[in-house]
């Protein structure tokens, strides 16, 4: 840290992204990327748009916004696109949280939530997950502040039914509820159908997981038009050209070829469930994930040890160091062939402990 770094950020602990090692070729199951490439039309659209990079992108992203709104069954005024869902979430923390409206979110969830709060000097409260690692809406029904819930939650993969989120919205009409649906396409229940009924609901989603565009950085928010206008105020105050031309073209093409991605998500969910069965047969405790990852622990080997031994064997998974989940690893669901490699190497590691 230099002597010039502002003391305003003394308390800031940056988010730690999943590692991207370059020392060898890995079976990469650590950052919840899709194992499948974008659809053919995406590559073509990106190549065509690359010929116009001398021009700024449309600050309103009108073509993409209109295509996305039509896809979602919403009015374009109810949608905002951004440079990944992380940018959208940061805007939401800035717009809807302050000293009088602290952020409220689970103690075990997406690691960026406390970072956004600290970065923007927002007080926040973390609510412990239940003993089974689930979120209980009862813990959020009463109290003050803006609620942020990842649904399905990460890293547990567990999900709340839509009716539970609706109960929270209905009982708290004067509190914003932000639902982060990064993983909803793999088996969760979306809250998008509730947008026209509740003006305090903001749904945030990403193209990274479900539409194989993690490298393009494309996310969006959907909600009441007034909420979207609030987010636009912050966008135009920071980076009006936040979605570049090639990413916008990729998003439009991906929506046009959406059936390809629906099939991929179904394939990932099937592989997830099959892998969970095989891990349980090896003695693992595995949460009932409806995301594109598994959250698992074994009584014979700690989470950190399993992560290190798998890495030595060329398989990357994610290990998180929070006390309650230190024994777990988070495993991105890859292709069936990649999961076969994971299972084979895991079995070999467990044999060392017999």
Query: What average pLDDT score do residues 89-109 get?
Result: 97
Residue pair 203/212 in contact by the 8 Å Cβ criterion: no
Q: Which of 191, 196, 192 is nearest to 167 (CA)?
A: 191
Query: What average pLDDT score do residues 87-92 get?
Result: 98
Q: What is the pLDDT of residue 20?
A: 85
Query: What average pLDDT score do residues 319-330 get?
Result: 96
Residue pair 209/33 in contact by the 8 Å Cβ criterion: yes
What is the CB neighbour count within 10 angstroms for residue 11?
9
Q: What is the pLDDT of residues 5-15, one digit of tens each?
A: 999 898 899 98
Q: What is the pLDDT of residue 232?
A: 98
Q: What is the pLDDT of residue 17?
A: 87
Q: What is the pLDDT of residues 50-80, one digit of tens each?
A: 999 999 999 999 999 999 999 999 999 999 9
Last residue of a domain, one of 256, 274, 306: 256
Q: Does 136 share its domain with 237? A: yes
Q: Does 252 share its domain with 266? A: no
Q: Report the number of distinct structural domains present in the chain.
A: 2
Query: What average pLDDT score do residues 299-304 get?
Result: 96
Last residue of a domain, one of 227, 256, 285: 256
Judge whether residue 310 has pLDDT over 80: yes
Judge whether residue 18 has pLDDT over 90: no
Q: What is the pLDDT of residue 251?
A: 98
Q: How far apart are CA 80 and CA 88, in angstroms?
A: 8
Query: What average pLDDT score do residues 124-136 get?
Result: 97
In this prediction, residue 354 has a pLDDT band, given cuts at 50, 70 and 90, of: confident
Q: What is the pLDDT of residues 252-279, one digit of tens each?
A: 999 999 999 999 999 999 999 999 999 9
What is the CB neighbour count within 10 angstroms for residue 130?
13
Query: What average pLDDT score do residues 227-243 get?
Result: 97
Q: Does 207 share its domain with 224? A: yes
In this prediction, residue 36 has a pLDDT band, given cuts at 50, 70 and 90, of: very high
Query: What average pLDDT score do residues 37-57 get?
Result: 96
Least confident span in 15-19, 123-127, 213-217, 255-259: 15-19
Query: What average pLDDT score do residues 107-135 get?
Result: 97
Judge whether residue 114 has pLDDT over 90: yes
Q: What is the pLDDT of residue 62?
A: 98
Stated pTM of the model: 0.96
Query: What average pLDDT score do residues 100-121 get?
Result: 97
In this prediction, residue 23 has a pLDDT band, given cuts at 50, 70 and 90, of: confident
Q: Does 156 share its domain with 74? A: yes
Q: Which of 207, 210, 203 is nearest to 291 (CA)?
A: 210
| Residue at 11 is within a domain | no
Q: What is the pLDDT of residue 229?
A: 98
Q: Does 248 share its domain with 271? A: no
Tell me the percentage of the chain whose pLDDT exceeds 70: 100
| Residue at 9 is within a domain | no
Range of the domain at 285: 16-37+259-351
Calculate the average pLDDT of the chain. Answer: 96
Q: What is the pLDDT of residue 169?
A: 98
Judge whether residue 1 has pLDDT over 90: no
For residue 125, the domain's CATH number is 3.40.640.10
Last residue of a domain, one of 221, 256, 291: 256
Residue pair 137/113 in contact by the 8 Å Cβ criterion: no
Judge whether residue 24 has pLDDT over 80: no
């Amino acid at each position: 840290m230099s002597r010039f770094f502002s003391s305003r950020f003394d308390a800031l602990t940056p988010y730690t992204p999943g590692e991207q090692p370059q020392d060898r070729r890995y079976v990469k199951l650590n950052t919840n990327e899709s194992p499948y490439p974008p659809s053919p039309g995406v590559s073509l659209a990106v190549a065509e748009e690359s010929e116009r990079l001398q021009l700024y992108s449309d600050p309103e992203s009108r073509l993409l916004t209109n295509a996305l709104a039509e896809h979602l069954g919403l009015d374009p005024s109810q949608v905002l696109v951004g440079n990944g869902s992380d940018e959208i979430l940061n805007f939401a923390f800035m717009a809807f949280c302050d000293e009088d409206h602290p952020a409220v979110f689970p103690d075990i969830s997406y690691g960026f939530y406390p970072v956004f709060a600290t970065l923007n000097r927002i007080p926040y409260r973390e609510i412990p997950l239940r003993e089974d690692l689930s979120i209980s809406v009862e813990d959020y029904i009463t109290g003050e502040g803006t609620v942020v819930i990842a649904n399905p939650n990460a890293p547990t993969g567990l999900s709340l039914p839509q009716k539970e989120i609706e109960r929270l919205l209905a009982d708290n009409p004067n509190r914003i509820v932000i639902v982060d649906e990064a993983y909803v396409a793999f088996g969760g229940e979306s809250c998008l159908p509730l947008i026209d009924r509740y003006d305090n609901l903001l749904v945030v989603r990403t193209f990274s997981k479900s539409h194989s565009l993690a490298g393009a950085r494309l996310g969006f928010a959907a909600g009441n038009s007034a909420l979207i206008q609030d987010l636009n105020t912050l966008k135009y105050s920071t980076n009006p050209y936040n979605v570049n031309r090639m990413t916008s073209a990729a998003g439009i093409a991906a929506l046009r070829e959406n059936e390809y991605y629906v099939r991929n998500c179904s394939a990932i969910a099937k592989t997830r469930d099959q892998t969970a069965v095989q891990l349980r047969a090896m003695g693992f405790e595995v949460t009932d994930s409806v995301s594109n990852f598994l959250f698992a622990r074994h009584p014979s080997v700690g989470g950190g040890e399993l992560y290190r031994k798998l890495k030595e064997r060329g398989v990357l998974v994610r290990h998180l160091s929070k006390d309650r989940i230190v024994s777990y690893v988070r495993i991105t669901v890859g292709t069936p062939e990649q999961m076969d490699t994971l299972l084979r190497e895991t079995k070999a590691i467990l044999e060392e402990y017999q």
